[in-house]
Amino acid sequence: MDRKAFHILASLATNIGGLTDTNNMSSTEKLAMFLNILAHHEKNRSIKVDYIRLGWSVSKAFNECLRAILKLTPLLLVSPNLVAEDETDDRWKWFKGCLGALDGTYIPIRVRTIDKPRYRTWKGDIATNVLGVCDRNLNFTYVLPGWEGSAADVVYCEMLLYEGMAMIIYVTEDIQMEMVFCPLIEDIDMRLRDWQGDNPPPQCREELFNMKHARARNVIERAFGVLKGRWGILRSPSWYSVKIHTRIISACCLLHNFIRREMEVDPLDMETEFTMEHQHEPEHGNIDTVEPSDEWTTWRDELAQSMWNERSSN
């Protein structure tokens, strides 16, 4: 974050978020400490030495800033723009009316011993599963942190959301979710690297659809990559409670959107290396069913056929 963006954020946190000066600490100093902790995952004892403050003052300032940033949610959470009918970008032109890409990612956390089985992922790590939706410019439009790491990955199926089939979520006490989505075509390889260089191109409409689908939804992988690259607190477990940690995740996503809005060039976006390869394996958890829709399956198959027809004619 450059100096100009920092002062804009400080003004927003003060005027809208309610962050105030105290007798011994200004709001800008509080915000600087807060961003330092998020970016470098600095411990309280390190910050109090660097800023010559008491530990409880650092902790109090951190929580004040966290509340202030979360109050900026209506301002910083981006409203998605639909893919236009006249879209020319080859990555998106087939997905008219698309709202964005959806996926899930793991954020390591520390929990009580009694809670570890619920937060243990299929790899054995202790983490929370975060649902995120982003637009084509890597801005987050929806974030839902706090799911246990053991939650089934079906919740975070790679998909694109379309106008007329908006994601509908019902969360009940027994943690069930219901949604409508456009998934990949099953049992067809989607890894783009297999179709690059001397490897053969897609051999059927299903492979072609999955390739274009993967290229489009890759924006969410990039968004998560930039997010974790920017905020060190998301890359390793911290001693914050699960409740506070989920708020921290939301705040990091909001700040991510702010930086991309206020800075002409996001250096982390340019440096982030990403892959088109499918990164998640199927998991077992509480959410294990998603109702199929013949209507949208037919629509997807017709779209795949249209892609194949255009490719064959060229």
pLDDT, tens digit (0-9, with 9 covering 90-100), for 153-192: 444 443 334 433 333 333 333 434 333 344 455 555 555 5
Report d(CA 272, CA 46) in Å as an integer.
Answer: 28
Range picked from 145-154, 188-197, 223-232 for highest mean pLDDT: 223-232
pLDDT for 269 equals: 67
pLDDT for 163 equals: 39
User: Is residue 184 a contact partner of residue 213, using CB atoms and an 8 Å limit?
Assistant: yes
For the chain, give every domain's residue range: 3-71, 98-313
* Lowest-confidence region among 4-18, 126-140, 207-221, 285-299: 285-299
Angle between the 205-230 and 294-313 helix axes, to the nearest 10 degrees? 100
Report d(CA 128, CA 146) in Å as an integer.
Answer: 6
User: Is residue 94 a contact partner of residue 208, using CB atoms and an 8 Å limit?
Assistant: no
Cβ neighbours of 94 (radius 10 Å): 20
Return the bridge partners of 68, or none: none
CA distances from 277 to 190, 192, 214, 224, 274 (A): 8, 7, 8, 15, 9
Percentage of the chain surpassing pLDDT 90?
Answer: 37
What's the whole-number mean pLDDT along residues 196-209? Answer: 66
Q: With CA atoms as reference, report the closest residue to 129 among 156, 159, 169.
A: 156
Report d(CA 290, CA 177) in Å as an integer.
Answer: 8
pLDDT for 203 equals: 66
Instruction: Report the chain's mean pLDDT, rounded to a whole number.
Output: 76
Spatial strand order in the sheet of 182-183? 140-148, 127-134, 98-108, 159-162, 182-183
pLDDT in tens, 61-97: 999 999 999 999 999 998 877 777 787 887 777 777 7
Q: With CA atoms as reference, report the closest residue to 257 among 232, 234, 226, 235.
A: 226
pLDDT in tens, 18-41: 999 998 899 999 999 999 999 999
Report d(CA 235, CA 40) in Å as an integer.
Answer: 10
- pLDDT over 70 at 214, yes or no: yes
pLDDT for 29 equals: 95
**Cα 191 to chain centroid, rounded:** 21
CA distances from 12 to 75, 90, 114, 128 (A): 10, 38, 40, 29
- pLDDT over 60 at 207, yes or no: yes
Return the bridge partners of 143, or none: 132
pTM, full prediction: 0.76
